[in-house]
Amino acid sequence: AQTVTQSQPEMSVQEAETVTLSCTYDTSESDYYLFWYKQPPSRQMILVIRQEAYKQQNATENRFSVNFQKAAKSFSLKISDSQLGDAAMYFCAYRSELSQGNLIFGKGTKLSVKP
């Protein structure tokens, strides 16, 4: 069974600085998708960024980028120029190409942004 591990329960970053959130996963599959979701206090899940495992190029979305290391099964999220609105819970998630689409989530990292 696949597992997703986020080893940082909490992280803090100064406004305008850069922070990296860690995520590792375990799978025997070669085709899958990885996601980072943001859950602000409203608890609405928001997709931040996604990565297809077959793509070698790391995904980027504006201030958000990932470092995808397939061999190491690592998928970290870098947030540049952190803003107060980035404060939230961040969940790393895995989806198998073979699945019905269900996501396997890590336990989450609570990110605080200091003004």
86 phi, psi to nearest 5 deg: -80, -10
Q: Tell me if 11 contacts another protein by CB under 8 A.
A: no
Question: Minimum distance from CB of 16 to another protein (Å)?
Answer: 27
Question: Minimum distance from CB of 6 to another protein (Å)?
Answer: 9
Q: Tell me if 62 contacts another protein by CB under 8 A.
A: no
Task: In whole angstroms, give the CA distance from residue 90 to residue 113.
Answer: 13
Question: Which residue stretch of 24-32, 41-49, 54-62, 69-77 sits at the interface with another protein (rule: CB under 8 A)?
Answer: 41-49
Q: Which amino acid is at 45?
A: M
| Residue 46 near residue 91 (C-beta atoms within 8 A) | no
**Among 91, 94, 111, 113, contact with another protein (rule: CB under 8 A):** 91
Q: How many CB atoms lie within 10 A of CB 101?
A: 7
Task: In whole angstroms, give the CA distance from residue 8 to residue 50.
Answer: 20
Binding region for another protein (CB under 8 A): 33, 37, 42-47, 50, 91, 100-108
